[in-house]
C-alpha cells in the first residue's frame, strides 16, 4: 500500500464522496435504464444509505490517499461499526451526518416516489433485523458498513480498515461481532478471512424488492 494512504475518522465533508462510492457500488446498474429524475433519486438513496449507517454507528473511519499529485483527496474505502458498550454510553456519529439526514427528511416529504423507496428500504431493514437477531444477541459489536472504492480493491485497503475496526471492537470488550451482507456484495471476502456464515436466507426480497441471498457472518475477536 502507498505511503500516502492513511486512516482517519469520517468527516462531514466526506459524505458526498462516500455517497458516490455507494452509488457506483450498489446503484449504478439499476440506474442504467432509469430516467434522469429516477437517477437523481437513486443518488439520494445512496446518500441516505451512507448517512443512515453513519448515524447508527459508534465509529466511522475512511482510508484516504493524500498524494499531493492527486487534485482532490481520494477516499479509498470506509468502515463503520457499532460497539455495543460505546452505544450504551451514547457514543454515535449522528453529528457527522445531521445536515444530510435533514435533507433526506425534506426530500421524503416532497417526493412520493422517494418516500416509496424509503418505505421499501425500511421493510427490507426489518427483514434483515429479524435474520440477524440471534447473531446480535450473542455479539458485542456489528460491522455496519464496509465499502471499498472500485479502483482501490485488491490493494490491501479493506484488510487495513477491517483490522482497525476489529481492534476497536476488542478494546470495547466485545468477544465477537457480526455483519450482514447479500449476493449483491462481494461476500467472498468474508469467506476468505475465515468468518463463520451463521445464518442465511436464500432467494428472498432485498432492497427495492430485488431477489437476493442474504447472509449473516460472525467473527470471534
Cα 193 to chain centroid, rounded: 19
In sequence order, which residues have a C-beta less than 8 Å from that of residue 10 and are 6 or more positions away?
A: 18, 54, 60, 61, 62, 78, 80, 93, 96
Q: What is the mean pLDDT of residues 69-94?
A: 88
* pLDDT value at residue 190: 95
Q: What is the mean pLDDT of residues 78-82?
A: 98
Any alpha helices (H) in the chain, and if so which ranges? 15-22, 28-31, 36-55, 84-88, 98-110, 112-131, 133-137, 157-171, 188-192
* pLDDT value at residue 158: 93
Q: Give 66's pLDDT tier (boundaries 50, 70, 90).
A: confident
**How large a percentage of the chain has pLDDT more than 70?**
95
- State the Cα–Cα distance between residues 97 and 94, nearest whole angstrom: 6
* pLDDT value at residue 65: 84
| Long-range pairs for 191-196: beta carbons < 8 A, 24 or more residues apart | 193/162, 193/219, 195/219
Q: Does pTM surpass 0.75?
A: yes
All cell numbers assigned to 23: 452509488
* pLDDT value at residue 20: 95
Using the predicted structure, report yes or no on whether residue 218 has a pLDDT greater than 90: yes
By three-state DSSP, how is residue 171 classified?
helix
* pLDDT value at residue 34: 75
- State the Cα–Cα distance between residues 147 and 125, nearest whole angstrom: 18
Q: Which domains does the chain have, with CATH numbers?
A: 5-121+137-174 (3.40.630.30)
* pLDDT value at residue 144: 98
CB atoms within 10 A of CB 17: 18
**How large a percentage of the chain has pLDDT more than 90?**
80
* pLDDT value at residue 68: 61
Residue 117: name the closest of 42, 26, 13, 196 by CA.
42
Count the alpha carbons within 13 Å of 60 in the hemisphere toward its beta carbon. 24
- State the Cα–Cα distance between residues 167 and 159, nearest whole angstrom: 12
Using the predicted structure, report yes or no on whether residue 140 has a pLDDT greater than 70: yes
Using the predicted structure, report yes or no on whether residue 79 has a pLDDT greater than 80: yes
Using the predicted structure, report yes or no on whether residue 70 has a pLDDT greater than 90: no
* pLDDT value at residue 67: 65
* pLDDT value at residue 32: 74
* pLDDT value at residue 2: 63
Q: Are 14 and 75 in contact (CB under 8 A)?
A: yes
Amino acid at each position: 500500500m502507498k505511503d500516502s494512504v492513511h486512516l482517519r475518522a469520517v468527516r462531514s465533508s466526506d459524505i458526498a464522496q462516500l455517497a458516490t462510492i455507494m452509488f457506483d457500488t450498489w446503484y449504478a446498474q439499476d440506474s442504467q435504464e432509469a430516467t434522469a429524475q429516477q437517477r437523481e433519486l437513486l443518488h439520494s438513496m445512496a446518500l441516505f444509505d451512507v448517512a443512515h449507517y453513519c448515524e447508527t454507528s459508534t465509529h466511522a473511519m475512511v482510508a484516504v490517499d493524500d498524494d499531493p499529485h492527486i487534485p482532490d483527496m481520494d477516499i479509498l474505502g470506509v468502515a463503520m461499526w457499532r460497539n455495543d458498550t460505546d452505544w450504551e454510553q451514547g457514543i454515535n456519529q449522528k453529528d457527522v451526518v445531521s445536515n444530510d439526514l435533514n435533507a433526506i427528511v425534506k426530500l421524503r416529504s416532497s417526493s412520493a416516489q422517494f418516500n416509496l423507496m424509503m418505505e421499501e428500504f425500511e421493510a427490507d431493514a426489518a427483514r434483515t433485523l429479524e435474520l440477524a437477531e440471534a447473531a446480535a444477541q450473542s455479539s458485542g459489536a456489528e460491522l455496519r458498513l464496509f465499502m471499498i472504492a472500485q479502483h482501490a480493491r485488491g490493494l490491501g485497503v479493506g484488510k487495513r480498515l477491517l483490522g482497525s475496526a476489529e481492534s476497536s471492537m476488542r478494546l470495547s470488550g466485545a468477544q465477537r461481532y457480526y455483519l450482514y451482507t447479500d449476493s449483491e456484495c462481494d461476500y467472498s471476502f468474508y469467506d476468505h478471512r475465515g468468518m463463520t456464515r451463521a445464518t442465511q436466507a436464500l432467494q428472498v426480497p432485498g432492497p427495492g424488492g430485488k431477489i437476493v441471498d442474504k447472509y449473516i457472518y460472525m467473527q470471534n475477536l
